[in-house]
Chain A
Amino acid sequence: GAVVSQHPSRVICKSGTSVKIECRSLDFQATTMFWYRQFPKQSLMLMATSNEGSKATYEQGVEKDKFLINHASLTLSTLTVTSAHPEDSSFYICSASRATNEKLFFGSGTQLSVL
Chain B
Amino acid sequence: RKEVEQDPGPFNVPEGATVAFNCTYSNSASQSFFWYRQDCRKEPKLLMSVYSSGNEDGRFTAQLNRASQYISLLIRDSKLSDSATYLCVVSGAGSYQLTFGKGTKLSVIP
Show the binding face of A for B, using Cβ within 8 Å. Answer: 32, 34, 42-46, 49, 91, 93, 95, 97, 100-104, 106-109, 111
Min CB distance B49 to A, Å, is 7
For residue B42, CB closer than 8 A to chain A, the reply is yes
Instruction: Convert B67-110 into 0s and 1s, putting 1 for each residue whose CB lies closer than 8 angstroms to a CB of A.
Output: 00000000000000000000100010011111111110000000
Q: How many residues of B contact A (CB 8 A)?
A: 22
The reply to whether B42 and A44 form a contact with Cβ atoms under 8 Å apart is no
Query: Which A residue sits closest to B4, measured CB to CB?
Result: A43
- List the interface of chain B (C-beta within 8 A of A): 31-32, 34, 41-46, 49, 87, 91, 94-103
Residues from chain B with a CB closer than 8 A to the CB of A109 are 41-43
Check B101–A101 contact: CB distance below 8 A.
no
Q: For the complex, would chain B's binding face be called helix, strand, loop or mixed by DSSP majority?
A: loop
Closest to B100 in A: A44
Closest to A111 in B: B41
CA A3 to CA B98, docked complex, whole Å: 18
Q: Are B98 and A104 in contact (CB under 8 A)?
A: yes
Separation in Å of the B104 CB from the closest CB of chain A? 11
CB contact under 8 A between A43 and B87, given known A106-B45, A109-B43: yes
Return chain B residues, CB-CB under 8 Å to A32: 96
Please tell me which one of the listed residues B44, B45, B87, B91 contacts residue A101 in the complex, with CB atoms under 8 A apart: B91
Nearest-CB residue, chain A, relative to B31:
A101
Residues in chain A near residue B32, CB distance under 8 A: 101-102
Tell me, in angstroms, the Cα distance from A32 to B98 when the chains sit together.
12
Taken together as a complex, chains A and B put the C-alpha atoms of A45 and B42 apart, in Å, by: 15
Q: Which residues of A contact B96 (CB under 8 A)?
A: 32, 34, 49, 97, 100-101
Compute how far the CA of A48 lies from the CA of B28 in the bound complex, rounded to whole angstroms.
23
Q: A42-B102, A101-B31, A101-B91 are in contact. Are A93 and B43 (CB under 8 A)?
A: yes
- Given A101-B91, A107-B43, 7 more pairs with CB closer than 8 A: A43-B101, A49-B96, A97-B96, A103-B34, A104-B46, A106-B44, A106-B45
On chain B, the residues within 8 Å of A95 by CB distance are 98
7 A-B pairs with least C-beta separation: A43-B102, A106-B43, A101-B32, A44-B100, A32-B96, A109-B43, A103-B46
